[in-house]
C-alpha cells in the first residue's frame, strides 16, 4: 500500500499562511498602482429665461431642475406646493402659457421663454382672483396645502371648457362640453385633497363659471 508523500502534504496551517500572504500581496499591488481618481464632472447646466407672474427671470439651472424646484428653490415662490413630487397629487399645478401643468413632472429647461403663472400671480390678499374669492366663500379648503394647486387647476379647467376641450366625462365629442358637476369632478380628478373639500371646490368653480351648483 502506498504511503502519502510527506513533501506533498499541506497542513491546514500552511494553507492559511499561503492565503494570508496572497491577500497581502494583492493589497500591496493595489496600493502601488492606485486607480485613477474619479473625476466628477459638473452637472450639465443651462440658462433659462422664464416670465413668472409677469416678471422676467433668467436662471442658471442644473438641467435636471424641475419647474417646481425652479419656482420654489430658485425664485422662492413657495405658494406652489410639493406634495408627492411624482405627478400624483396635483399640489404643484401651475399655469404654463395659460395651460395647467404639474410642475413636478417637467424640467424648467424645457420651457425657455414660457409664461408661468403661480398662485402668487393670480391675485393678492387685497385683490383676490375670482376663483380665490369663490374658494373662500364656499369653504373650498381646510388645511390649505392642496389649495394653490386646486385654484390654478380650477382656473385652467374653466379655460378648457371655454375652449371646448373635451374630457373623459364629455358625452358628445362633437359638441361643446357642458358645465356639469361630472365634468368638473373629472377634470379636477388629478388634484387630490386630503381634507375632502371636493364638493365645495365644485361649488366655487361653478359660481365662477356663472353656472348653478
Site for ligand FES in 70-99 (CB under 6 A): 82-85, 87-92
Give CA angle at 44 (39, 46), nearest 5°: 150
Cα 152 from chain centre: 15
For ligand FES, which stretch binds (CB under 6 A), given 18-26, 57-65, 117-125, 187-195? 187-195
Closest CA to 90 of 64, 61, 119, 113: 119
Query: Nearer Cβ to ligand FES, position 84 or 136?
Result: 84
Residue entry with cell 387647476: 153
Closest CA to 48 of 34, 67, 35: 67
Interface residue with ligand FES among 141, 154, 177, 204 (CB under 6 A) is 141
For ligand FES, which stretch binds (CB under 6 A), given 28-36, 39-47, 119-127, 189-197? 189-197
Strands (E), 66-130: 93-96, 99-102, 115-117
- From the CB of 55, what's the least distance to ligand FES, in Å? 23
- From the CB of 182, what's the least distance to ligand FES, in Å? 21
Query: Nearer Cβ to ligand FES, position 130 or 145?
Result: 145
Query: Nearer Cβ to ligand FES, position 27 or 88?
Result: 88
| 67 is a contact residue toward ligand FES (CB under 6 A) | no
Cα-based torsion angle of the residue sequence 120, 148, 133, 129 in order, rounded to the nearest 10 degrees: 40
Between 145 and 174, how does the x/- string for binding to ligand FES read (CB under 6 A)? xxx---------------------------
Helices (H) and strands (E) in the chain, counts: 7, 5
- From the CB of 183, what's the least distance to ligand FES, in Å? 21
- From the CB of 81, what's the least distance to ligand FES, in Å? 7
**CA atoms of 147 and 77, how far apart (whole Å):** 15
Beta bridge partners of 203: none
Query: Nearer Cβ to ligand FES, position 79 or 83?
Result: 83
**CA atoms of 157 and 180, how far apart (whole Å):** 12
- From the CB of 153, what's the least distance to ligand FES, in Å? 10
Contacts of residue 49, Cβ cutoff 8 Å, sequence gap at least 6: 56, 57, 58, 59, 112, 113
Positions in the binding site for ligand FES (CB under 6 A): 82-85, 87-92, 102, 104, 141-147, 193-195, 197
Amino acid at each position: 500500500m502506498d504511503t502519502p508523500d510527506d513533501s506533498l502534504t499541506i497542513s491546514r496551517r500552511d494553507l492559511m499562511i499561503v492565503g494570508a500572504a496572497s491577500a497581502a500581496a494583492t493589497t500591496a499591488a493595489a496600493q502601488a498602482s492606485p486607480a485613477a481618481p474619479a473625476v466628477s464632472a459638473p452637472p450639465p447646466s443651462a440658462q433659462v429665461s422664464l416670465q413668472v407672474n409677469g416678471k422676467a427671470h433668467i436662471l442658471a439651472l442644473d438641467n435636471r431642475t424641475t419647474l417646481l424646484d425652479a419656482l420654489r428653490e430658485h425664485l422662492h415662490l413657495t405658494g406652489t406646493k410639493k406634495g408627492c413630487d411624482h405627478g400624483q397629487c396635483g399640489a404643484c399645478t401651475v399655469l404654463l402659457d395659460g395651460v395647467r401643468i404639474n410642475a413636478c413632472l417637467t424640467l424648467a429647461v424645457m420651457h425657455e421663454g414660457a409664461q408661468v403663472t403661480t398662485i402668487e400671480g393670480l391675485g393678492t390678499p387685497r385683490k383676490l382672483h375670482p376663483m380665490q374669492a369663490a374658494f373662500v366663500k364656499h369653504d373650498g379648503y381646510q388645511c390649505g396645502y392642496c389649495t394653490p394647486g386646486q385654484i390654478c387647476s380650477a382656473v385652467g379647467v374653466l379655460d378648457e371648457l371655454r375652449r371646448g376641450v373635451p374630457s373623459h366625462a364629455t358625452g358628445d365629442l362633437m359638441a361643446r362640453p357642458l358645465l356639469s358637476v361630472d365634468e368638473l369632478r373629472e377634470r379636477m380628478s388629478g388634484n387630490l385633497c386630503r381634507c375632502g373639500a371636493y364638493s365645495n371646490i365644485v361649488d366655487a368653480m361653478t359660481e365662477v363659471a356663472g353656472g348653478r351648483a
